[in-house]
Structure 1
Amino acid sequence: MRPNVLARTLVGITAVAGLATGSLATAGTGFAASAPAPETVSAQSPSLLTTQNFGLTSAEAKNVQRWLAEYWNYTDGIDGQLGTNSWKAFQRCLKTYWGYTGAIDGDPGTNTIKALQRLLKDSYGYTGAIDGDAGSGTRAAFKRFAAS
């Protein structure tokens, strides 16, 4: 009888070890198959989502907004955030003097940046290409514009 007890004990231990190993092996895949996290909806207003200061500090952006208010019919607050209405006013300037041909929509996209680069090349030390990319050269010249 003893050999039978020993055999059953070994079979039992092997079964327990196999179950434990199988549980550990599938533990990682249980996490991989979990449901994706739900998307969150932003509670920010659209004007905050379109703010684009292109490297300007809040104080520098306020200088730009004061200039826009004085010359280009900017009527929103002087808050240091170049949002849709700031860019609409800037686009009016760029359309009048710097070859901007797009809509006055407040979106500082490629065409707006190209016209801004022409302004910055004329008087604020921008030496790069008129490519619509607000890279480091454009940002540095925009800072000089904001400080003037």
Structure 2
Amino acid sequence: MRSKMARNTLVTVTALTALSAGGLVTAGTAGADQQRQQTVAVTESVAPLAVVNLGLSTQQAKNVQCFLKNGGWGYSGAIDGQLGTNSWKAMQNRLSSGYGYPSNQIDGIVGPNTVKALQRLLADKWGYTGAIDGIAGPATQAAFKRYANGQAPYC
């Protein structure tokens, strides 16, 4: 009887150990699934860099990028016609040279200060006659298109 009881105990312990191990395996898999879901969630929440072409066509934006790259304004990215953060950092660098953009605020974000400085540049040589108000309205965009077309020789 003692050996039967020992055998039953051994079987029970073995069964419990197997179940526990199976539970741990499942828990490990569930943990891996949860980690994978967290990784996916993090990956999906990362937004692409903002592209702000201010009404320019892809070709016009490429002209601006060529000017910024070949004119020595610090642009080293692709000539892809997408004015993203690096394009605008280079443009802000250009605008800090005589158009009132603060050189200590170069961040690649197209905010009111960037637009005001751009409007000053456009008023200087590209036919912009509107207010220097930091709003990229139709007159600013039309002058920016003239400016972009004028940069074609840099490509």
In structure 1, the partner of 2:98 is 97
In structure 2, the partner of 1:147 is 149
Taking structure 1 as reference, are residues 135 and 42 closer, same or farther at Cα in structure 2, changes over 3 Å only? farther
Residue 61 of structure 1 aligns with an amino acid whose one-letter code is A
User: In the alignment, is residue 52 of structure 1 matched against residue 56 of structure 2?
Assistant: no
User: In the alignment, is residue 138 of structure 1 matched against residue 140 of structure 2?
Assistant: yes
Deviation at 1:97, TM superposition (A): 1.7
How many Å separate the matches in 2 of 1:109 and 1:42? 26
Q: Which has the higher helix share?
A: 2
Instruction: State the SS of the aligned residue for 1:97.
Output: coil
- Which consecutive segments of 4 or more residues in structure 1 shift more than 6 A? none
Taking structure 1 as reference, are residues 44 and 53 closer, same or farther at Cα in structure 2, changes over 3 Å only? farther
Per-residue CA distance 1:70-121 (angstroms, 9 max, x = gap): 1202000000000000000000010112011261100010000000000000
TM-score (norm 1): 0.68
In structure 1, the partner of 2:108 is 106
Residue 79 of structure 1 aligns with an amino acid whose one-letter code is D
TM-score (norm 2): 0.65
How many Å separate the matches in 1 of 2:53 and 2:143? 13
Taking structure 1 as reference, are residues 45 and 77 closer, same or farther at Cα in structure 2, changes over 3 Å only? farther
Structure 1 portions without partners, runs of 5+: 1-40
Deviation at 1:45, TM superposition (A): 4.2
In structure 1, the partner of 2:63 is 63
Residue 89 of structure 1 aligns with an amino acid whose one-letter code is A
How many Å separate the matches in 2 of 1:123 and 1:105? 25
Structure 2 portions without partners, runs of 5+: 1-42, 151-155
Taking structure 1 as reference, are residues 42 and 122 closer, same or farther at Cα in structure 2, changes over 3 Å only? farther
Residue 51 of structure 1 aligns with an amino acid whose one-letter code is V
How many Å separate the matches in 2 of 1:67 and 1:44? 30
Which structure has the higher relative contact order (CA within 8 Å, separation 6+)?
2
How many Å separate the matches in 2 of 1:136 and 1:42? 34
Alignment root-mean-square deviation, CA: 1.5
How many Å separate the matches in 1 of 2:63 and 2:54? 14
